[in-house]
Structure 1
Amino acid sequence: MEIITVEEAINLKKALFIDVRSPSEYQESTIPGAKNLPLFSDEERKKIGTLYHIDKYQAYEKGLKIGSSKLYLIFKTLTSFLDSVNKNTKVIIFCWRGGMRSKSITLNLQMMGIPAFQLKGGYKAYRRFVLDQLETFKNFFHFYTIHGNTGVGKTKILKYLKEKGEPVLDLEGLANNRGSIFGDIGLGMQRNQKMFDSLLYDELRKNNKDYFFVESESRRIGKILLPKFLVSAMENGTHILIRSNIKKRIEHLKQEYLPIENKNKIINLIYHNSFFEGKKGKQWVNNLITLLLEDKYDKFIETLLIDYYDPLYSHSEKKYEPYDFILYNNDIDYCVKELISMIDN
């Protein structure tokens, strides 16, 4: 049976990673781009695991019975995947530790003529590899760190830069969280630390330039903790301050957070967050909720910005004065053009 190490697999030009762990294991974290073809469902895995602590032989027998009934479907599904990729693509099969789940499927695929490899050490080895490799990027890139008050359009600027082919490290995108009280509005579930680290490693290793554009962040984004080397590199980079007028900031935030569609969730977050009341008082919170209930979205956002967010971030903004560059985002195309020109010059 063909076995491949994590480093060898990651460096393949054409690879299709197949995660044969249960759906919940896959959902928690996996190798970026991997497809899930589970040998056992969550319930089946749980039953086999319980049985294993009582009678190992019976557990193996039950696993064989369940798994063997799914091998044909896994084979057919995998061949449909292969129809849409390069013919030289190598198939990498992995489970948690490179055990029986990935071994049985790899052997069967090889017998069917598919060039499949079992990942040595499984996902556990991949996770250890990612953590080790992240540290190798210390002092590797120069960061153009973009600062600015809430709503100046930092996320949109990064998106435009990426569309222009510039290397952008979208940390909030990788975390699937904006790092604020309203950080998950319209985004769904935040990624966990394992998945964030994997996606971060992927972004770093794929960049063939020596710099990144990145939005200024604290070390924590929601539940995610940024690596210390990354925070340090961002702090030691080139600092760019983006400014914009209050009207444009309100428009940016309406587009990003969709207060009409997410009104009830926003009200619930405000009502149950003691931080607002502790900082601004109960009356201020009640007035804020009233603005939303009365559909006065512009005034709601303006109140949040002027009374809460701008004073809150004024200290961190002063930390990097004097800024290397200050740009006014009244025209995003012009702003992006200036940033690219700054790199070229």
Structure 2
Amino acid sequence: MAEQLISLDEFWSLREQFPMIDARSEGEFEQSHIPGAINIPILTNAERIAVGTLYKEKGSEEATLKGFELVGPRFHVILRDALTQFPKKKVIVYCWRGGMRSQILSWLLTMVGFEVFRLKGGYKTYRTHTYELVRKDWNLLILGGKTGTGKTRLLQKLQESGEQIIDLEGLANHKGSSFGSIGQPAQPTVEQFENLFAEALRQLNPAKEIWVENESRKIGRLVLPDKFYEQMLEAPLIDIQKSAQERIALIAEEYACLPTDELILAVLRLKKRLGGLRTSQAIEAIVEENHSDWIANLLIYYDKAYTFDLEKHEAGKTIQLDLSGMDEETSTKKLLEAKSQFHGKYTNPTH
């Protein structure tokens, strides 16, 4: 069967129907890719370097011949892999620019009866779109609050109630503190984070408000796009408050069960900011499983850091909302009522 070239606009609907194959090298794929794609490299990392070097030194013809020399002996392996993984024989294929590698893979697959949709412009076209999307103007509403106020849980409750949210920490695989990577999968690269971020934004209505948890510019080792972060600082912010006891209990629930050695390493990463004495006290409390003590100790630092970050937000756009003693359902209702102060009257969607 012949291949069909598709535009990015056509790609969005077709990818819901067919699996995607990324024909780039394993290194390129690990750096970033279209979420959900499966990597079947036409050239490996080393082969790609060799062909690229030859292209610079002797031109495209020599490089093309070398490419076929390297990949030709693997044609049967590539085909068997594809036939095993995609028995329905309908796939979307892309490489970096929609050029030779995806053309070769498409040609191979059509030889054994595949229906192939090849993305024009390749991954570069997709990446240009995601790069621009996370830097567009968005209608944000920031959910703030000190560590332990349960912002992430409330964000999920807001989503369940029909609100639009972006869970930046979920996309980044990091909870945004020295302890934030414990028990989490490895963080994506900055580029892949932006791809995931853009995919989440694509599902939302840009005309409506989007709830985002208050974050610093960095989430673990990832950096938010400058324009999006600036919009966060300029957006209305609801600063939720909980009692110290509630905050300590929530943090203990999430972190006390984690490995002791990882908790200690997280404290040591803060040593310069905590000072020697408080660091030693926190570690001793962790070892003794006195979780309330080490959490209360660290909250002194985190509360100061939060107050500093809060001062960066645009003046006159912050509402304080005390949710002490309230369950998540009641807290969500209060947040929606507070939202109406910025975005008009709140009406309960269940009535």
- TM-score past 0.5 threshold: yes
Q: Which residue of 2 aligns with 1:232?
A: 230
- List structure 1 segments (4+ residues) > 6 angstroms apart after TM superposition: none
- Are 2:308 and 1:315 aligned? yes
Equivalent position amino acid for 2:247 in 1? R
Residues 242-294 of structure 1 show CA distances to partners (whole Å, capped at 9, x for unaligned) of 111122212222333x33332201212323x2xx3333321221111111111
Displacement after TM superposition at 1:48 (Å): 5.8
**Is residue 301 of structure 1 aligned with residue 309 of structure 2?**
no
RMSD: 2.6
- 1:113, distance to aligned residue in structure 2 (A): 4.2
Determine if contact 1:175/1:190 at 8 Å carries over to the other structure. Answer: yes
What residue identity is the alignment partner of 1:170?
D
Which residue does 1:221 correspond to in 2? Answer: 219
- For residue 291 of structure 1, what is the aligned residue in structure 2? 285
Matches for 1:39-188 after TM superposition, within 5 Å:
39=42, 44-47=44-47, 49-50=49-50, 53=53, 56=63, 57-79=65-87, 91-135=91-135, 137-138=136-137, 141-188=138-185
**Where does structure 2 lack aligned partners over 5 or more consecutive residues?**
55-61, 341-345
Paired AA for residue 277 in structure 1: K
Structure-1 separation of matches of 2:33 and 2:169: 19
Q: Paired residue for 1:333?
A: 329
> Contact 1:52/1:59 (CA < 8 Å) preserved in 2?
no
Q: CA deviation at 1:23?
A: 3.9
Q: Deviations over 1:51-105 (max 9, x none)?
A: 664674344212111133321321231126x7xxxxxxx7321123323332222
- The secondary structure found in structure 1 opposite 2:91 is strand
How far is 1:318 from its partner? 4.7
Aligned residues: 326
CA change 1:108–1:277 in 2 (3 A) is closer
Normalising by structure 1, what TM-score?
0.84
* Shift in CA distance, 48/234, structure 1 to aligned 2, threshold 3 Å: closer
Shift of the 25–67 alpha-carbon distance from structure 1 to 2, 3 Å rule, reads: farther
Change in Cα spacing, 1:38 to 1:78, as seen in structure 2 (3 Å) is farther
| Contact residue 20 and residue 93 of structure 1 kept, 8 A | yes
Question: CA deviation digits over 1:155-197, x for unaligned, max 9?
Answer: 1111222233321111111111223222211113111111111
What is the percentage of aligned positions where both structures have the same residue?
31
Q: CA deviation at 1:298?
A: 1.9
CA spacing shift, 1:133–1:302, aligned 2, 3 Å: closer
Provide the rounded CA distance (Å) in 2 between the counterparts of 1:59 and 1:242. 59
Partner of 2:242: 244
State the TM-score, normalized to the length of structure 2: 0.82
The residue aligned with 2:194 is 197
Paired AA for residue 115 in structure 2: P
Distance 1:175 1:223, change over 3 A: same
Q: 1:59 to 1:106 in 2, by over 3 A?
A: closer
Kept in 2: contact 1:186–1:262 (CA 8 A): no
Q: Offset at 1:230? A: 1.7
Aligned positions of 1:246-285 closer than 5 A = 246-256=244-254, 258-271=255-268, 273=269, 276-285=270-279
Q: 1:32 & 1:144 partners in 2: Cα distance?
A: 27
Q: Distance in 2 between matches of 1:165 and 1:15?
A: 29
Provide structure 1 residue ranges, at least 5 long, that are not aligned to the other structure.
83-89
- 1:10 is aligned, of 9, 12, 32, to 12
